[in-house]
Structure 1
Amino acid sequence: MADTATTTTTEDTGYSVGLDVDESPYQDIMQCPLLMDNAVDDAATQGEASLFDFKEAKTTWVANQVPTLQMTYPRNGKFIKLIQVEKILVGDVNRIITHQKFRINEVLRSDQDIVVNATHIIGEYLVNNPIKGSQPITGANVTASWCIGEILGHLAKPVPEINYDSDVTKVANANIDISNTNALNALLDPDQIGDKPANSVLAQYGGDFYFDNTTIYHREHAGRDRNITVRYGQNITSYSQQKTINDMYVGIYAYADYNPGPALATLDNVDWNGLANQSDWGSVASVTYNAAGSVDIYNAPVKGAQVIGQLTTGTQIQIGKPIHDGDTVA
């Protein structure tokens, strides 16, 4: 009898583990910002506080610039006294670059909330850090990696934690003026009218910079090649595509304050069965979707999740209980 081959298909649940399993792009996404005392603290821990009672947290990342984070936190929040300038917030830039450290540089207070502005730690390390010496960084037929190493190796305030990795293969005659600039500008400044040409690694070599905490990545072509071909007709003179994600939300983390009211149990009333029947075990809050258009509702925030409903303008979903297919929404 011939052997029969058995094929097993494993669906990515977002929580796969093991040395031979690719990590899901969803499993490390944070549910709330973390507050830490120092930049060298381990971002895999809970730090000083998990800020689950935050109102909003938004990361802004422009190509070849240092990301920033802005968080809105209630004045009556549990950890309000811990949130101070110079401390560290840990948040996600996107689904791939997660658990990033941001140094708090501003705390703005109002009657109801505070607004916290923070800068990615790599920018905080380099933006006010000049390069030692007055002579330009010069070299004949050198790589971008060599230039980055020269810049980081001659910081006026050394930062041993910083690593860098460049896959740009281009070589050039480098000539980067460092007499009146800081380390961040020497890496990222683009050419502008009136300045000295090619006065940064980005201007000299091109490519894309991004940052993963204290590691600087310089890529010839950032992103993934999805093998998509755009076919066009004859005599085309231009082609453009524009996308905007302003005010786009990729998830809702709703929470509610629970006010139990007067205690039902007394010395004379310990009928637990009766008390259970009197208790409201329904939802404790609701979320109303008031944006334009519609959004699908999935049964899990992971790859392979099934669509179980749709949000349209004015739709309200109860929280405090699971959402099931067929549930009625008002």
Structure 2
Amino acid sequence: MRAVVVSEYGVLPEVRDVPEPSADAGSVVVRVEATGLCRSDWHGWMGHDPDIVLPHVPGHEFAGTIAAVGAGVAGWAVGDRVTTPFICACGQCEQCLEGNQQVCPNQLQPGFNYWGSFAEYVAVPYASVNLVRLPDELTFATAAGLGCRFATSFRAVHQVARVAAGERVAIFGCGGVGLSAVMIAAALGAEVIAIDTNEAALDLARSYGAVHTLTPAAPVVGAINDLGGAHVTIDALGSAEIAQQALESLRPRGRHVQIGLLPTAVTLNAGRLIAQELTWLGSHGMPAHAYPEMLALVATGNLNPAQLVTRTIPLTETPTALTALTTGTPPGVTIITP
């Protein structure tokens, strides 16, 4: 099969022929119809993830059709249209049995722990736990964006922060995760504030339902507090400075949700967190069993993740697009069609 292969960190990958994955016991092989280009892929290419072993194939959010079914996988057949969370949980540990597959200690992540979806085929381990059946009307391009950015945002906004209608939600960072969060929070009836350095991203945020948009050049914390403060803040980028600004923008007893990965050393105003009874919440992906609620809202038109897709490229253009993330993230979601 053809795949994007990283042979050296920080060096332009190449598209070349590699062996196809096999459908081992408990797993399936998916023919990739669409896969998303995510900043996490860039971090992996740069060598920021200790789980990656070179040579390596990136890619972790994808949709396609089952091409092969391994022994012990019941209820799934060749040709089924599927996607999967980027966290492939084992299904047998204590966390999985409690329904918390997103924090499974035995998890495997395509594009990080093993070869990913920047290829014509990709394996899905623990398939019975991790496969999500796609409605026929949902395109592969739209479904590919659900596995990481949109699903992550849906769980963070709806299931972790529990955003309610009428609440003020400030979203820092309008990449794929942030724009997804804007759309979801707006659909839940929140008054959304979007913050980003990129005016094009803020234009998209307004089109997805943001009522207010700010750039870091403005006094962000003061502007949010002038509106009455945020009930919920979300760091969708991952920055120590942003995390602190987010806490300072909260109303008393507000909730902060951290989605973006942070540096190991982060200093926060813990005194304010205590005195104002603020809540700091982490959110990491979404398990497969939680997808039906999200897919139902997509089916009714309350959520329209297809709007997030702003660019589609072939596999041959992926190496250049991946390395271009060094200088910035293009607005919206880029989808690769192998």
Same fold (TM over 0.5): no
Question: Which has a greater percent of helix?
Answer: 2
Query: TM-score by structure 2 length?
Result: 0.26
Q: Normalized against structure 1, the TM-score is what?
A: 0.26
Of the two structures, which has the highest relative contact order with CA contacts closer than 8 Å and spacing of 6 or more? 2
